[in-house]
Amino acid sequence: MSYSDGTRSVHAGLPTPQVGEPFLPGPVFAAPYHLDPVTGPGRHGYARTENPTREALEAAIGALEGAPTLAFSSGQAAITALLLAVLRPGDTVALPSDGYFTVRAFAEGTLRELGVTTVLVPTAGPYPALTGTRLVLLETPANPGLDVCDLRALSTVAHEAGALVAVDNTAATPLGQNPLALGADLVVASGTKALTGHSDVLLGYVSATDPTLLGRVETWRKQTGAVPGAFDAWLAHRSIATLDLRLARQTANAAAVAELLLSRSDVTGVRWPGLPDDPSYAVASAQMRRIPGIVSFDLGSAERVGRFLTAAKLVFAATSFGGVHTTADRRAQWGDDTSPGFVRFSCGIEDSADLLADITAALDAS
């Protein structure tokens, strides 16, 4: 039977019901496990390579992404594993020029030193000829500019050129879009953000339908040890149950915030792919099942952003996004190629009326 997103989120990765056992068993903290003195390990031998709590989380995420999944200690650990497991000296990788800045920094440093050539491409294109490219990494919607690319069309072009396609699904989450169903070969994401949404874990993951590809990533993880701890895995699995509800409120808040910002003459550059006039609207509305709760806009100067965030009571100054609390930050301070007054605004699950009133007062005071 095919269930809706809310039902799938609540039941993803749960064990088969057994009388007297909890719905979601507590975290298994063991590092070594008892071994058979003759035959050695059974299903679990050492926590770096296998842990039942982590496996339950991977089953949950895999059920939502539609493919086997490996969990990592952070989103950056996951994307590092993907890049180093897939790329070899002499390869070329295409990366988003407007995506997460640490990935570009990693490419310009470590990957370059390993002999990998990087081509930077805006998420919205135009894309160069991909002949000779080993991997195309996409981030859509892009962080922080919120441009969107057509995954199905670009995956077709990349595959015709012999390239693999990986999609950073952090902003959208698997309830917002399923890149693997749209033609991508791999999905990578930070589970720190909207997937878990409570600002209390660091987590990343990689999903793929090709067992050979995922096996290379798993071997890299085994040999480097970039795994999440048992309690982080348990917290993440617990949090996924409310994903559908959280995203619904965040999206509704983002729609209301975007409309408010558009109505003000002292705010420019408002972007949210759910707005009919947004440059990404056509692709996003066709490709995504829901638009994330992230809005971007410009307040003109770093000083005004500071005054706005200081005056706001419900908007926390923080550099992550996708949590239950509304947050915002000035991206230029982190090295993003944005204007001094550019703001990435992540809507939480506060009541919309309260959030709009707080934003209005803070803008008026800034």
Which helix H or strand E contains 253, and what residues bound it? Answer: helix 243-262
CB 213 within 8 A of CB 193: no
Would you list the domain boundaries of the chain? 5-240, 243-365
40-99 pLDDT, tens digit per residue, is 777 888 889 999 999 999 999 999 999 999 999 999 999 999 999 999 999 999 999 999
**Residue 337 confidence class, pLDDT cut points 50, 70, 90:** confident
CATH class held by domain 243-365: alpha beta
Kindly list the strands in the beta sheet with 316-317, ordered across the sheet, starting from the edge strand earlier in the chain. Answer: 268-271, 294-298, 342-346, 327-330, 316-317
225-282 pLDDT, tens digit per residue, is 999 999 999 999 999 999 999 999 999 999 999 999 999 999 999 999 999 999 999 9
Predicted pLDDT at 336: 80
Q: Give residue 18's Cα distance to chain centre.
A: 34
Rg (CA), the chain: 21
Cα torsion angle, 190, 193, 198, 200, sign: positive
What lies within 8 Å, CB to CB, of 64 at 6+ separation is: 8, 9, 12, 173, 174, 175, 240, 243
pTM of the model: 0.95
Which helix H or strand E contains 103, and what residues bound it? Answer: helix 101-106
Structurally, at CATH architecture level, domain 5-240 sits in 3-Layer(aba) Sandwich (3.40)
| Cis amide bond preceding 25, omega within 30 | no
Amino acid at 31: A
Rounded Cα distance between 129 and 131, Å, is: 6
Average pLDDT over residues 344-350: 98
The count of residues in the chain is 366
**Residue 313 confidence class, pLDDT cut points 50, 70, 90:** very high
Residues paired with residue 317 on neighbouring β-strands, in sequence order: 328
CB 314 within 8 A of CB 354: yes
Rounded Cα distance between 111 and 100, Å, is: 16
CB 205 within 8 A of CB 59: no
Structure-token match 């230029």, residue found: 332
